[in-house]
């Protein structure tokens, strides 16, 4: 009898141990899950704070640079009125340099904003900066018969520009500039440079083809069908590729630029003399002034309907132009899988300088004058959708590598040249399957009526349906 009781107690003890082990495993699972969730939430908040701080810091320097260009325009007019040609030349040379040093100082400020909020230096971003400095030094500045490959805004500009980029890399790049516009990037539209094409292939979004390239599914016959990638065709080389101000110098007579009263009022505010009876010769002397690029400082089309935002943009703030879009990455370590796994959390943020000028008692956008005068007094975060960053982002390195390296091989040698491990190459391989394209064409025959809404920002050289964070 005692033996039977002992056996029963042992059995029950064994069951308790099994239950306890299961409970411990479940508890451990819950603890690891809570750690992972807490870590992800913490890193997301830290990344958001860092990205927002970096974007705002960069935009402040854009505002400062634009105001400096405006103040120097007015000082140039005052020097002209005083007959001081030497001072006018110094001012113009200073403005040319501000178009590069101002934005690059903003890039450096963005790095500090990200680092102070806990974002580490990104080695891949750093490498891109160093590679681009080499491109500027050995490509832009390559001389043939004493002439640079690209026109320099001032003597030895490209060497100085490369040095500034190198200096930023030496301090460590933690925030990528997602709206960088490199002189060597292809210009114009091409389906293979459109991120929306790859997203449509991956998700079988046939309506994208119907709305953007209605004949592509049927007309495509093979990789040789594609036209060549467009050559670089940058509008000017007078502004930095990072955080461009989108301004340009032009030689014109002061009398053709704006009202004498506006210039006189601004000169008075800056304690500079520009009397109403300024010598007529001064008003009709051709000098170099700085203006907003009209093609970049137009109405803020992205903020119009159907953009998902309440209210309307006030008239005085309804303009595109200079803005700062940044990208930061954080590494999250997960323990749920039983071994430490790394995930990359990406946060993108954008900010923009704002201001207005007064004309006839009304507040109007600064670009409405074309001629730059000091006007920017604030910076604000803006939706990424409304920034000048392309859909892929200039610092989406996998996308950038695909566009700059993989596409040339594909267009020359066909699908066999596509790289393994590149998701965009995999999308092209899917596209190359005839059955895939036939499926899309068949679906559109009976369902094209469903394709009634064009996604905001779709198509064009920037590519794809645009995104938030």
Cα–Cα distance between 378 and 316 in angstroms, integer? 13
Residue 41 scores a pLDDT above 80: no
DSSP 257: T
Residue 13 scores a pLDDT above 70: no
Give the pLDDT confidence of 403-423 residue by residue, as tens digits.
Answer: 888 999 999 999 999 998 899
Tokens of 64: 């400062």
- pLDDT at 103 (0 to 100): 96
Give the highest mean pLDDT range of 2-11, 22-31, 240-249.
Answer: 240-249
331-to-43, 192, 346 alpha-carbon distances in Å: 8, 30, 9
- pLDDT at 133 (0 to 100): 95
pLDDT averaged over every residue in the chain? 83
Residue 97 scores a pLDDT above 80: yes
Cα–Cα distance between 34 and 30 in angstroms, integer? 6
Are 113 and 105 in contact by the 8 Å Cβ rule? The answer is no
Residue 229 scores a pLDDT above 70: yes
Helix (H, G, I), strand (E, B) or coil at 329: strand
Give the pLDDT confidence of 145-190 residue by residue, as tens digits.
Answer: 556 688 899 999 999 999 999 999 999 999 999 999 899 888 768 9
Q: pLDDT band at 78, cuts 50/70/90? A: confident
Residue 335 scores a pLDDT above 70: no
Q: pLDDT band at 127, cuts 50/70/90? A: very high
Share of the chain above pLDDT 70, in %: 77
CA angle 178, 181, 183 (to 5 degrees): 150
Distance of CA 151 to the CA centre of its chain: 25
Cα–Cα distance between 196 and 230 in angstroms, integer? 18
As a whole number, mean pLDDT of residues 261-286 equals 65
């Amino acid at each position: 009898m005692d033996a039977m009781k002992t056996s029963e107690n042992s059995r029950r003890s064994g069951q308790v141990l099994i239950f306890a082990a299961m409970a411990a495993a479940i508890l451990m699972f819950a603890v690891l899950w809570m750690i992972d969730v807490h870590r992800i939430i913490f890193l997301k908040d830290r990344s958001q704070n860092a990205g927002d701080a970096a974007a705002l810091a960069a935009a402040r320097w854009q505002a400062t640079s634009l105001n400096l260009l405006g103040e120097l325009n007015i000082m140039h007019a005052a020097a002209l009125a005083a007959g001081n040609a030497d001072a006018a030349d110094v001012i113009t040379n200073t403005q040319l340099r501000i178009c590069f040093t101002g934005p690059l100082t903003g890039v450096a400020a963005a790095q500090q904003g990200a680092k102070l909020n806990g974002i580490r230096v990104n080695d891949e971003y750093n490498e891109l900066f160093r590679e681009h400095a080499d491109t500027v030094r050995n490509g832009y500045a390559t001389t043939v018969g004493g002439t640079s490959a690209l026109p320099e805004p001032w003597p030895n500009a490209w060497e100085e520009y490369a040095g500034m980029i190198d200096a930023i890399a030496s301090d460590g790049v933690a925030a990528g500039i997602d709206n960088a516009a490199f002189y060597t990037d292809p210009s114009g539209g091409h389906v293979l440079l459109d991120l929306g094409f790859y997203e449509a292939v991956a998700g079988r979004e046939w309506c994208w083809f119907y709305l953007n390239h209605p004949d592509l599914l049927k007309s495509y016959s093979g990789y040789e069908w594609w036209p060549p990638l467009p050559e670089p065709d940058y509008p000017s080389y007078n502004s930095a590729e990072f955080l461009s101000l989108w301004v340009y110098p032009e030689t014109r007579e002061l009398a053709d630029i704006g009202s004498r009263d506006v210039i006189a009022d601004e000169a008075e505010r800056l304690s500079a003399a520009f009397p109403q009876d300024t010598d007529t010769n001064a008003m009709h002397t051709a000098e170099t002034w700085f203006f907003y690029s009209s093609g970049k400082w137009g109405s803020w089309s992205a903020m119009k309907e159907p953009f998902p935002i309440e209210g309307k943009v006030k008239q005085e703030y309804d303009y595109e132009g200079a803005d700062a879009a940044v990208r930061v990455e954080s590494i999250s370590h997960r323990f749920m899988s039983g071994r430490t796994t790394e995930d990359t959390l990406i946060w993108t943020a954008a900010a923009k300088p704002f201001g207005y000028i007064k004309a006839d008692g009304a507040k109007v956008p600064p670009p409405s004058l074309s001629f730059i005068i000091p006007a920017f007094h604030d910076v604000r975060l803006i939706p990424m959708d409304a920034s000048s960053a392309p859909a892929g982002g200039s610092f989406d390195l996998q996308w950038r590598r695909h566009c700059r390296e993989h596409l040339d091989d594909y267009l020359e040698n066909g699908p066999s040249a596509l790289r393994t491990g590149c998701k965009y190459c995999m999308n092209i391989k899917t596209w190359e399957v005839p059955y895939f394209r036939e499926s899309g064409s068949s679906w559109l025959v009976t369902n094209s009526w469903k394709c009634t809404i064009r996604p905001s920002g779709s198509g064009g050289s920037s590519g794809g349906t645009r995104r938030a964070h």
